[in-house]
Amino acid sequence: MAFLMKYEVKQKLLTKKTKRRSGICMPSVKFIVSHDTGNDGSTALGNVTYYERSNNEKEASAHTFIDDKDIIECIPLTTGQPEKAWHVLYNITEDNRLFGGNANDIAAGVELCYSYTKGSINNKESYKRYVWYHAYLCFKYNIDPKKNICGHNELDPSRKTDPFKNALKIMNISKAQFIEDVINEYDECTIKESQPMTIEEKTAFNNLKDIVEKQTKIITTLHSTIKSLQERDKMPQIPEFAKEAVETAVKAGLVDTPEGGSYDFYRLITVLHRNKLIF
For residue 37, the minimal CB distance to Zn ion (Å) is 8
For residue 208, the minimal CB distance to Zn ion (Å) is 59
C-beta closer to Zn ion: residue 95 or 162: 162
Amino acid at 104: N
For residue 209, the minimal CB distance to Zn ion (Å) is 59
Binding mask 24-63 for Zn ion (x = CB under 5 A): -----------x----------------------------
Q: Which residue in 162, 166, 238, 246 binds Zn ion (CB under 5 A)? A: 162
Q: How many residues bind Zn ion (CB under 5 A)?
A: 3
Asked if 134 interacts with Zn ion (CB under 5 A), we say no
By CB under 5 A, which span of 93-101, 143-151, 160-168, 216-224 interacts with Zn ion?
A: 160-168
C-beta closer to Zn ion: residue 134 or 152: 152
For residue 9, the minimal CB distance to Zn ion (Å) is 20
Q: Which residue in 20, 129, 134, 152 binds Zn ion (CB under 5 A)? A: 152
Residues that bind Zn ion (CB under 5 A): 35, 152, 162
